[in-house]
Amino acid sequence: MGLTQTEAASLVRYRSYDKIFRIPEDVAACYGIDDSLYRVLKPHIRIARRYTTAPQGYRPGRMVAEPLPPEQFRIDTVSARYLEAIGALTRQQARTFVKWRDTHPICDMAELRKCYAVSDSVATALEPYIIFSEREPAAPRYPIELNDADSATLLLVNGIGEKTAGRIVRYRERLGGYWRTEQLTEVEGVTESNYEKISAQICCDSCRIRKIHINFAPAPELQRHPYLTPQLLRRILKTRQLKGGWSTPEAFNEDNRLKPGEAARLAPYLSFAPPGGDDDE
């Protein structure tokens, strides 16, 4: 049959301990017989009728006289005794299933049907009562890019909660994108110490920034940007109306009397070319 000497000895030793193979799944309980080997052997296993007959006597409390009516249960925590009590599986099948489940996550019916202890008809009968656990999310691939991540992806960062993730996305929309990861400290709820915790898990692609066409953008669009204060916005609109716009960042900064810090943080978001010009590429 292709078994190794150790595997064959394991089967014989099972019988030598006065144990009886009553169902094919009992073979899988033998030491050294793994799932893949059992699947190869299963079509060739035959159990004589006299051995499949259930024993006449049971110890008190070891058998349920009438099957319990099934109720909803979680497949990842259900006990072998409950599966036996509702009549879904025999005692040995239930134990085999629990042993198999502990090493094979079950999150849907397709994965349940892979268990050799559960037949298709039993799986179909149990389906209305089974509660599956949610599949574990895939491990995040660090670093996470701030300008591409949605709220759910940001939650994978250790140190970012649900509220903070929403605030990061909303602030990104107002900015037009992050050009430095340090800008997260401007988001409500992200402290300096918290930023130090998450900084190694994030990165920032400044090429994704949505720029403002400062010579053409309407007032409502300019007003939404968090770096354009009401006072600065009034100066920009007034000067633009008088001069018609600016061709360089230096001229813009000089006309609007920007401080070096203000000019530096605003510069990545400004475009001085017409919409669709080379500055947008």
| Structural domain contains residue 67 | no
What confidence score (pLDDT) does residue 250 get? 92
CB under 8 A, 24+ apart: contacts of 2-7 = 2/40, 3/37, 6/32, 7/32, 7/33, 7/37
For residue 114, pLDDT beyond 60: yes
**DSSP for 213-274, written as a single string:** ETTT--HHHHHH-TTS-HHHHHHHHHHHHHH---SSHHHHHHHTT--HHHHHHHGGGEE-SP
Do 176 and 216 lie in one domain? The reply is no
What CATH number should be reported for the domain holding residue 152?
A: 1.10.150.320
Q: Which two three-digit tokens encode residue 11?
A: 């089967």
Least confident range from 25-29, 152-156, 180-184, 270-274: namely 25-29
Residue 59: pLDDT band by 50, 70, 90 thresholds? very low
Report the alpha-carbon distance of residue 31 to residue 38 in Å, rounded: 12
What confidence score (pLDDT) does residue 171 get? 96
Amino acid found at 263: A
What confidence score (pLDDT) does residue 32 get? 74
Residue 166: pLDDT band by 50, 70, 90 thresholds? very high
CB under 8 A, 24+ apart: contacts of 4-13 = 6/32, 7/32, 7/33, 7/37
pTM for the predicted model, two decimal places: 0.51
Residue 95: pLDDT band by 50, 70, 90 thresholds? very high
For residue 35, pLDDT beyond 80: no
Residue with more model confidence, 40 or 127: 127
Identify the domain containing residue 46 by its residue range.
5-52
What confidence score (pLDDT) does residue 18 get? 72
Domain boundary among 191, 208, 225: 208
Greatest CA separation for the chain = 104
Q: What is the mean pLDDT of residues 227-242?
A: 92
Percent over 70 (pLDDT), the chain: 90
Residue 178: pLDDT band by 50, 70, 90 thresholds? very high
Do 39 and 77 lie in one domain? The reply is no
Q: What is the mean pLDDT of residues 81-94?
A: 90
What confidence score (pLDDT) does residue 58 get? 41
Q: What is the mean pLDDT of residues 235-256?
A: 91
What confidence score (pLDDT) does residue 64 get? 46
| Structural domain contains residue 99 | yes
Q: What is the mean pLDDT of the chain?
A: 85
Tokens 């259930």, located at residue: 54
| Structural domain contains residue 228 | yes
For residue 236, pLDDT beyond 70: yes
Residue 134: pLDDT band by 50, 70, 90 thresholds? confident
Report the alpha-carbon distance of residue 257 to residue 224 in Å, rounded: 21
Which residues are within 8 A (CB) of 185 and not within 5 positions of it... i.e. 6 or more apart? 191, 192, 195
Do 163 and 193 lie in one domain? The reply is yes
Report the alpha-carbon distance of residue 41 to residue 268 in Å, rounded: 68
In degrees rounded to 5, what are phi and psi of residue 70? -70, 145
Report the alpha-carbon distance of residue 133 to residue 10 in Å, rounded: 35
What confidence score (pLDDT) does residue 75 get? 92
Do 159 and 202 lie in one domain? The reply is yes
| Structural domain contains residue 62 | no
pLDDT digits (tens, 9 = 90+) for 192-222: 888 999 999 999 998 989 999 999 999 999 9
Per the structure, how many domains does the chain have?
Answer: 4
| Structural domain contains residue 180 | yes
- Maximum average pLDDT range among 2-6, 71-75, 170-174: 170-174
Task: Looking at the chain, list the stretches that DSSP marks H as alpha helix, in order from N- to C-terminal side.
Answer: 5-16, 35-41, 49-52, 80-85, 91-101, 109-113, 120-126, 151-154, 162-175, 192-198, 219-224, 230-243, 249-255, 260-266
Do 219 and 197 lie in one domain? The reply is no
What confidence score (pLDDT) does residue 62 get? 44
Residue with more model confidence, 209 or 70: 209
